[in-house]
Amino acid sequence: MEYGTIERELHIEAAPEVVYEVISTPEHLREWWPDEAELEPTPGATGVISFGDTSTPEATVVSVTVVEADPYRRFSFRWVYDEGEAALSTNSLLVTFDLVPAGAGTLLRFTEAGFREKGWEGAVLEEQYREHVSGWDYFLPRLVSYAAQLMSTR
């Protein structure tokens, strides 16, 4: 297996404007992905996302750096890099959401890349890749249903 890039295509029954909000703003991100999110959808902006209760040691807090924020078309960020470091192609993973109008909805093309570039030892690479596949397989359907639900209330 390659363990290089995770790719998914999903159809969402919501306009690209709605989907963009859902993937790029903290108040909407919290509804389908992390428990907490603090970030500005502006290229170069840094923030954090957290999973679990941040008052406990079991919580996971991850830094993110916005790479591209092209409203209604693309949102990308780097994550999974060491605290205190700048996010680079050699030390982080790149998540990209491409939005393509499709009828009354949106075709979402999702990719997460950079696993091999991080230089992980083979077993760690395989474990991280599988964990991310499992995570996105859980969270992306939540994005689809949340965006469609949000669209129906507008």
Instruction: Tell me the H-state helices in the chain.
Output: 16-24, 26-32, 122-152
Q: How far apart are CA 91 and CA 103, in angstroms?
A: 38
Encode pLDDT of 53-74 as tens digits. Answer: 988 999 999 999 999 999 999 9
Position 1 scores a pLDDT of: 66
Record the tokens describing residue 38, joined without a space: 């603090």
Encode pLDDT of 23-48 as tens digits. Answer: 999 999 999 999 999 999 999 999 99
pTM here is: 0.96
What's the domain range around 10?
5-152
Tracing tokens 């040691």 back to the chain, one arrives at 57
- CATH number (domain holding residue 9): 3.30.530.20
Q: How many domains does the chain have?
A: 1
